[in-house]
Amino acid sequence: MEESPSAARMPLRNRLQGVLIRHESLRGFLLLAPALVILGITVAVPFLLMSAMSLWTQIGFDYADDWSLRNYTAILTEPLYTTLLLRSLTMAMVATFVTVVLVYPMAYFLAFHVHSNKLIWLIIITLPFWTSYLLRVFAWRVILGYEGVINSGLMELGLIGEPLQFLLYSRVAVIITLAHAWAAFAFLPIYVSLEKIDKSMLEASADLGEPPVMRFFRVILPLSMPGVIAGTFLMFIPTVGDYVTPTLVGGPDAAMIGNLIQLQFGTINNWPMGAALAITMILSITLVGLFFMALMHGLRRWAR
Amino acid sequence: MTERFEFHKPNRALQLYAGLFMAMLYVPILFIPLFSFSDGLYIRFPIESFTLRWYAELFERTAVLRALENSVRVAVSVAIVSTVLGVFAAKALARYRIPGRGPILGFILLPLVVPPIIFGVALLLLVSALKIPLSLYTIAAGHIIICLPFAIATLLPRFEGYDAAMEEAAADLGENGWWVFWRVTVPIILPGIVASLLLTFTVSFDEFVMAFFLGGTDLTLPLYIWGQLRIPRAFPVVLALGTLILLFSFALVFIGLRIGRRGAIKLVDRG
């Protein structure tokens, strides 16, 4: 991109800067291009296709691209769909809430009370989450199973006569497993936000004679709220769509929307409906997210 | 730093809580190796006697060995492709003023948050619309979506961590772009590259959901395990296989995180 002599005359400095920036961003985009093209093909295009297909209808082994909202009307009116959708949202919400509450003290401990080898602590806490999700969920099946670790252990100790039925194949089992499997997603942002708090601020509050409990509620908790919110989202969003956990430890009473989506692409073989369910799931997650943000915003204004 | 400041005093209650937390994190996983050595066909206490026979049986199953080979092939290709793409993308994001940097980074990191079933299903639709048969290649394509964010998140802090002046100096001394990249940039970010290779390899090696939707008749290890989970009699062998996979994955990720250091933490920092 050479400058023409006439263009270079008047606002010379601005033009030069402009060309430089354009050059620079052009070079940047060139480097980004391979990644963006691949993500475009594997993420953006499929997503558009999925949106389109959600408006089609399955007829036998074929689709009719009749562009109707039939799938969505079915999802919103038939109890099977609404029940599973609401259940997935509530179960993910409960699991997220439990996890955030359980993880907060640990993050607090690491941020304020550990003074050496923090990196090793962080690695050990996050290590399991990089490894096989399937196996970590399977571990809970081993623990909660009818003849699993808990039941056979308690029977061996003579505390119960026969296995507890409710352990496996229940919503509680799914929530426990989700909490265990996704804890790092809630942990990391909360830890980072606590770590960033300026310690001198806390000393100032201590010097002014504020008791530790008040200091926690008036300084530490508010300052860590961005991390809590980020952690909530990072865990809530992926858990709504999970189907591995409900399949392995949930049973029919704890089936989630992910199971239904999977079935549409499997035995039920209604791909347009599967696409519509996937899109409905994303939309409802977004809706819950917006509601949560509004709630947090309202709380903050009220607290002031 | 005042001596009396409470954070420098040990807090017994919190220490206890941290101990319990770590136990809750690791003990459930440890039951997999524990029962893999149990002689009984059922997973239950008491463990009567210990054995290595499940491990021996594992190596006699050709299906396991084939799945292992498939998994390694997919994971190696995915690790290399996503790390190479990640190096370019991270350099662009760290070095150049790119309009719309925020949304672009958000788009790239999206797969970290969005349920993988969405990407799996969507990609399946495209692949079948194009009449591409499901195979290890389609699994690898799905894994690249998931691994690219990890690669970039690991590499980006590396690029942001060193002075661009070093590259400029080399360029001023007459090196051309590619030579600057090979002789200055790559050595500096090498730890990030190694970390990214190890982490993306493990993520792909252990990934199940994408493989479930995009896999054909060639199974990867997680797909093989999934098939076995329907047969309770197969559990002991699954436990033995799971033990080896977990051991291998933990080792790779530990090394990767040690080398990559700030990557994972920085990522969350950015939200």
Tell me what the pLDDT averaged over chain B comes to. Answer: 89
User: CA–CA separation, A236 vs A286, rounded Å?
Assistant: 11
B35 neighbors B47 (Cβ within 8 angstroms): yes
Residue A183's domain is classified under what CATH number?
Answer: 1.10.3720.10
B241 in contact with A at a CB cutoff of 8 Å?
no
A32 neighbors B93 (Cβ within 8 angstroms): yes
A213 neighbors A175 (Cβ within 8 angstroms): no
The amino acid at A227: G
**Tens digit of each residue's pLDDT (9 = 90 or more) over B104-154:** 999 999 998 899 999 999 999 999 999 999 999 999 999 999 999 999 999
* pLDDT value, residue A21: 57
- By C-alpha distance, which of A95, A135, A127, A122 is closest to B29? A135
* pLDDT value, residue A2: 45
For the stretch B52-57, contacts whose Cβ atoms lie closer than 8 Å and that sit 24 or more positions apart, written own/partner, are B54/B236, B54/B237, B54/B239, B54/B240, B55/B240, B55/B244, B57/B237, B57/B240
pTM comes to 0.90
User: CA–CA separation, B123 vs B213, rounded Å?
Assistant: 9
Q: How confident is the model at residue B86 (pLDDT cuts 50, 70, 90)?
A: very high
A55 neighbors A71 (Cβ within 8 angstroms): yes
User: CA–CA separation, A282 vs A280, rounded Å?
Assistant: 5
* pLDDT value, residue A71: 93
Cβ-defined contact of B28 to A136 (cutoff 8 Å): yes
What is the CATH code for B62-269?
1.10.3720.10
Q: What spatial distance separates the first Cα and last Cα of chain A, rounded to whole Å? A: 54
Residue at A51 is within a domain: no
* pLDDT value, residue B27: 95
Q: Are residues A32 and A112 in the same domain?
A: no
Q: Are residues A126 and A218 in the same domain?
A: yes
Cβ-defined contact of A43 to B145 (cutoff 8 Å): yes
Residue at A151 is within a domain: yes
Range 84-113 of B in CB contact (< 8 A) with A: 85-86, 88-89, 91-93, 95-99, 104, 107-108, 110-113
**pLDDT < 50 regions, chain A:** 1-5, 7-8
Beta bridge partners of A64: A57
User: CA–CA separation, A89 vs A235, rounded Å?
Assistant: 12
The winner for highest mean pLDDT among B2-6, B163-167, B233-237, B249-253 is B249-253
* pLDDT value, residue A202: 83
* pLDDT value, residue B269: 45
Q: Are residues A268 and A122 in the same domain?
A: yes
Q: What residue spans of chain A are helical by DSSP H?
A: 12-39, 45-53, 70-77, 79-108, 118-130, 133-144, 149-156, 171-195, 199-207, 212-215, 221-240, 244-245, 257-265, 271-303
- By C-alpha distance, which of B219, B27, B58, B57 is closest to A136? B27
Q: Are residues A122 and A247 in the same domain?
A: yes
- By C-alpha distance, which of A90, A71, A79 is closest to A280? A71
Chain B hits for A133, CB-CB cut-off 8 Å, are 206, 208-209
Percentage of residues in chain B having pLDDT higher than 70:
93
CA distances from A273 to A76, A201, B215 (A): 12, 54, 21
Q: Are residues A4 and A134 in the same domain?
A: no
pLDDT over 80 (residue B158): yes
Residue at A4 is within a domain: yes
Phi, psi (deg, nearest 5) at residue A57: -130, 140
Residue at A55 is within a domain: no
Facing residue for B29 by CB, picked from A136, A148, A271: A136
Residue at A234 is within a domain: yes
CA distances from B126 to A52, B129, B133, B220, B231 (A): 11, 5, 11, 22, 33
Cβ-defined contact of A35 to B203 (cutoff 8 Å): no
Q: Are residues A3 and A106 in the same domain?
A: no
Q: Are residues A117 and A9 in the same domain?
A: no
Cβ-defined contact of A105 to B14 (cutoff 8 Å): yes
Look at B88-102, B190-204, B257-271 and tell me which has the smallest mean pLDDT: B257-271
* pLDDT value, residue B44: 78
Given the structure tokens 């995009």, which residue do they identify?
B214
Phi, psi (deg, nearest 5) at residue A64: -110, 120
Phi, psi (deg, nearest 5) at residue B126: -65, -50
pLDDT over 70 (residue B6): no
Cβ-defined contact of A203 to B5 (cutoff 8 Å): yes
Structure tokens at B104: 């672009």
Residue of A nearest to B118 (CA): A278
The single-letter DSSP state of residue B229 is: T
Question: Could you give the number of structural domains in chain A?
Answer: 2
User: CA–CA separation, B262 vs B189, rounded Å?
Assistant: 13
Facing residue for A152 by CB, picked from B45, B114, B144: B45
Q: Are residues A20 and A111 in the same domain?
A: no
* pLDDT value, residue B263: 45
**Tens digit of each residue's pLDDT (9 = 90 or more) over B165-220:** 777 887 788 777 778 888 888 888 999 999 999 999 999 999 999 999 999 999 99
Query: Which three-class secondary structure state does DSSP give residue B221?
Result: helix
Residue at A294 is within a domain: yes
- By C-alpha distance, which of B127, B146, B150 is closest to B216? B127
Chain B hits for A130, CB-CB cut-off 8 Å, are 199, 202-203, 206, 249, 253, 257
Half-sphere exposure of A295 (CA within 13 A, CB side): 8
CA distances from B13 to A35, A99, A105, A215, B20 (A): 48, 19, 10, 18, 11
Q: Are residues A35 and A86 in the same domain?
A: no
Residue of B nearest to A24 (CA): B96
The single-letter DSSP state of residue A58 is: E
Q: Which domain holds residue A33?
A: 1-39
Q: What is the residue-wise DSSP string for B192-204?
A: HHHHHHHHHHHHH
* pLDDT value, residue B260: 80
Specify the higher pLDDT residue, A122 or B7: A122
Task: Print burial letters for B218-250: b (CB count within 10 Å at least 16), e (below 16).
Answer: bbbbbbbbbebbeeeeebbbbbbbbbbbbeebb
* CB neighbour list of residue B216: distance below 8 Å, 6 or more residues apart: B133, B134, B135, B136, B138
Number of Cβ within a 10 Å radius of residue A53 = 24
Look at A237-241, B70-74, B94-98 and tell me which has the smallest mean pLDDT: B94-98
Shortest distance, CA B10 to any CA of chain A (angstroms): 7
A137 neighbors A244 (Cβ within 8 angstroms): yes
H/E segment holding residue B62: helix B62-95
Q: Are residues A103 and A240 in the same domain?
A: yes
Q: Are residues A9 and A96 in the same domain?
A: no
Residue at A185 is within a domain: yes
Interface confidence, given as ipTM, is 0.90
B208 neighbors A134 (Cβ within 8 angstroms): yes
Q: Are residues A7 and A91 in the same domain?
A: no
